[in-house]
Amino acid sequence: MKLQNSAAESNNTGQERGIEVYSQPKNKSYHFLSKGLCFLLCVLVPSCHRVWIREAYLKSAPKTRTDNVKEIIHGIEITDPYRWLEDGNSAETRKWIESQNKYTNVSIGSLAGREALSQRLTELMRIDNIIAPREHNGRYFFLKRQSNQELYVIYMRKGLNGEDEVLIDPHPLSADHTTSVYMWDVSKDGTVMAYAVQYGGEDERTIKLFDVDKREDLPDRLDKARYHSVSLKPDNSGFYYVRHGSDGGRLYYHAMKADPSSDIELFGEGYGPDKFIQAYLSEDGRYLLIYVWHGSAAMKSEVYYQNIAEKGPILPIVNDVEARFYGDVGSDHLFLQTNWNAPNGRILRVDLTNPARENWQEIIPECDAVLEGFSLVGGRLLVNYTRNVSSQLRVFEPDGKYVRDISLPAIGSAWAGGRCDSNEASLVFTSFHIPVVSYRYNVQKDTKEIWWQPKVPIDSNMFEVKQVWYQSKDGTNVPMFIVHRKGLNLDGQNPTHVTGYGGFNASLTPEFSVDAALWIEAGGVCAVTNLRGGGEFGEEWHKAGMLDKKQNVFDDFIAAAEWLIANGYTCPAKLAISGGSNGGLLVGAALTQRPELFQAVVCGYPLLDMVRYHKFLVAQFWVSEYGSAEDPNQFKYLYAYSPYHNVTQGTRYPAVLFITGDLDTRVDPLHARKMAALLQSASGSHRPVLLRYHTKAGHSGGLPLSKQIEDRVDTFRFLFWQLGVDFSERHSLTALSSPR
């Protein structure tokens, strides 16, 4: 489980998971109507008939016209009844969205439990919190949100014991607090900061430069666009950045005080929108590293470098190998992490004064754990592994000699990073029962001390965490974490929430989640599946769930639900699933392939029309992961599992809450619009199919804390309603008859 909508995740590439919740301003007239409906249901009607009347009322979902566009794709006729909903700006679509939001507000607005849920979620979320700091020249830069604030503020602290000084406060930037900020880079001397301004949940940002000593913006800024990297020169004379446009990514150099329109294009010509380019300066500013990723979680990446100090040309390190490479520079050596001839990963060392491939050295060979990343700190390599879906941190010398493992508090997730010229690393740890803790770790002395620990009001002793293995449809063993209160009664009646991701080489290691904590406090069960397509067991695990093998991911997820039922944790009437982005595709496929297995589904910012997905926004990035319907062979398997194309009229589908919004500039909201309309028309179960459609939220969040809490409340009310849970009493869970 993952704490959703945090500032630390605002630039995530698509790894959303867990119960995801976003906000929608309430229409006052419908709020009044929902109160009236609640009165009628709760006072005038006997309790034994309330569920029946609510279900009867909810049959009146907004009607959606069909145009039944027909086309022949590779010899197969496809009918698309809601093609017109792809145009999100048409007057008809906007009217339809308004009617859907009203229907959702009425449906959820009269449900019980708002006060108790709001109180508990406020206690859990409205706390002081700090994101792990970056240290530059004795100055610590970090994001901090106090308990009475809506947004994270950028702070700076001079020295460990200095006062926290506000640098950028986003609260005055928008009346509704939907404009946020985060750091992108800080100069080596700590006097200049590049930061991004994000409007709502858009992936596009405005980049600004800030004079830390004068506490004012510099005149240099980059207009709103999709930026993939910003890297300041150590002498503060300029910076390198990558901007992604309709023709693809391009690397530029901006000289301070120059007109951005005159910025020099250095690299990217010839690469199309399906390539992802990043560029970073080495710590000393001597070398510029350029990466070209062939799609998200690419099977291939290219690496180039330039000796800035000697004004040399841009030269290739590797651009002809079907493998991923990524690295960092220490002195004149490039350390490359790669899965080339090593599915679990290894690290190579390249002498940049003599970079020919025959001179490369393997310093850290592949092992039975998966190499997730590394950082050069204090002249050493701090390497992050995943072993049996849990983090392991190890320290090595630059020649690959093993130094030590770093002790961690428990099984969980850890990340660490720092600078090559400093012994101090920032280390972050979390687990299902441990909120995110930031440490200062000395890589030479092997000492660590807490830098920040949030005071989340939970009882960690009540959690029981276990990892189980189950067999998928083809016999593959798949792991799953199960978290619940100690002493759980395995009577098959526990409200259970299952989530997963299964894509883009992303690993779901144990993380703390407010949503999971509340669910477990209430007596429910949370399960996190580690599906094929992820990176938990290296590249082979990833390949086993991508392209023509994507169905394995859905089979793994369905098998997890079946295992939980067979082992007495729950039953279909008490089983809910959720996921976002690629995880939205996951639950969309699960609900269309096995509708009888689930009672309720939360599907956020999803991909659902897999025949046309590649035509919209930045979806060309994902063709290497999913394939494209333009290819006749890839079309066959995409069409076979595409949720939108596998809805059958009259099937008793689960209750579904779709979540999307206008400012999702990553996954086009047309997917949720079309699927909501189709399921409302097709479902024979009379369970609600709802759409929560935002105007200012998107794939990258964009909501202030109060709205995050409000939307979590509504999503929990939806799930508890469908699973027959009464949360009117705080921290209590009473089973009711589940709606049918």
- Is residue 325 domain-resident? no
* Predicted pLDDT at 729: 54
Q: To 10 degrees, what angle do helices 705-723 and 91-109 make?
A: 70
Provide the residue range defining the domain that includes 442.
367-455
In this predicted model, which residue has the larger pLDDT, 97 or 16?
97
Average pLDDT, whole number, for the chain? Answer: 90
- Check whether 730 has a pLDDT greater than 60: no
pLDDT digits (tens, 9 = 90+) for 221-257: 999 999 999 999 999 999 999 999 999 999 999 999 9
Whether 465 and 394 map to the same domain: the answer is no
**Average pLDDT score over residue span 75-90:** 98
pLDDT digits (tens, 9 = 90+) for 450-494: 999 999 999 989 999 999 999 999 999 999 999 999 999 999 999
- Helix H segments across 567-663? 582-593, 623-626, 632-641
- Is residue 138 domain-resident? yes
Residue 199 sits in a domain whose CATH number is 2.130.10.120
The Cβ of residue 566 has, within 10 Å, a number of other Cβ atoms equal to 10
pLDDT digits (tens, 9 = 90+) for 4-42: 322 332 333 333 323 322 222 233 222 222 222 232 223
Whether 440 and 487 map to the same domain: the answer is no
Whether 710 and 584 map to the same domain: the answer is yes
Structure-block tokens of residue 488: 């759980």
Distance CA 493, CA 573 (A): 8
Residue 510 sits in a domain whose CATH number is 3.40.50.1820
- Is residue 22 domain-resident? yes
pLDDT digits (tens, 9 = 90+) for 194-228: 999 999 989 999 999 999 999 999 999 999 999 99
Confidence of residue 728 (pLDDT cuts 50, 70, 90): low
pLDDT exceeding 70 applies to what percent of the chain? Answer: 90
Whether 505 and 531 map to the same domain: the answer is yes
Whether 520 and 471 map to the same domain: the answer is yes
Confidence of residue 112 (pLDDT cuts 50, 70, 90): confident
Whether 451 and 551 map to the same domain: the answer is no
Nearest to 712 by CA among 552, 526, 513, 565: 513
Sheet containing 276-281, strands listed edge to edge, beginning at the edge strand earlier in sequence = 276-281, 287-293, 301-307, 314-318
Please state the three-class secondary structure of 238-289 as a single string.
Answer: EEEEEEEECCEEEEEEEECCCCHHHCEEEECCCCCCCCEEEEEECCCCCEEE
Whether 587 and 724 map to the same domain: the answer is yes
- Is residue 635 domain-resident? yes
In this predicted model, which residue has the larger pLDDT, 33 or 100?
100
Q: Which of 281, 313, 343 is the last residue of a domain?
A: 281
- Check whether 605 has a pLDDT greater than 60: yes
CA atoms within 13 A on the CB side of 504: 21
Distance CA 481, CA 390 (A): 11
DSSP state of 676: H
Choosing from 431, 581, 685, 700, the catalytic residue is 581
pLDDT exceeding 90 applies to what percent of the chain? Answer: 86
**Average pLDDT score over residue span 89-115:** 95
- Is residue 341 domain-resident? no
- Is residue 664 domain-resident? yes
Whether 103 and 247 map to the same domain: the answer is no
Question: Mean pLDDT lowest for which of 45-59, 253-267, 521-535?
Answer: 45-59
* Predicted pLDDT at 45: 32
- Is residue 70 domain-resident? yes
Nearest to 501 by CA among 22, 18, 19, 21: 18
Whether 200 and 265 map to the same domain: the answer is yes
pLDDT digits (tens, 9 = 90+) for 632-687: 999 999 999 999 999 999 999 999 999 999 999 999 999 999 999 999 999 999 89
- Check whether 726 has a pLDDT greater than 90: no
Confidence of residue 699 (pLDDT cuts 50, 70, 90): confident
581 catalytic residue (yes or no) = yes
Whether 375 and 488 map to the same domain: the answer is no
Whether 729 and 610 map to the same domain: the answer is yes
Q: To 10 degrees, what angle do helices 91-109 and 28-39 make?
A: 40
Nearest to 534 by CA among 549, 522, 519: 549
* Predicted pLDDT at 35: 28
Q: Which of 430, 455, 480 is the last residue of a domain?
A: 455
| Contacts of residue 572, Cβ cutoff 8 Å, sequence gap at least 6 | 565, 596, 597, 598, 599
- Is residue 346 domain-resident? no
Nearest to 303 by CA among 280, 286, 285: 280
* Predicted pLDDT at 190: 97
Q: Which of 228, 248, 281 is the last residue of a domain?
A: 281
Choosing from 426, 683, 699, 700, the catalytic residue is 699
699 catalytic residue (yes or no) = yes
Domain count, the chain: 3
Whether 92 and 221 map to the same domain: the answer is no
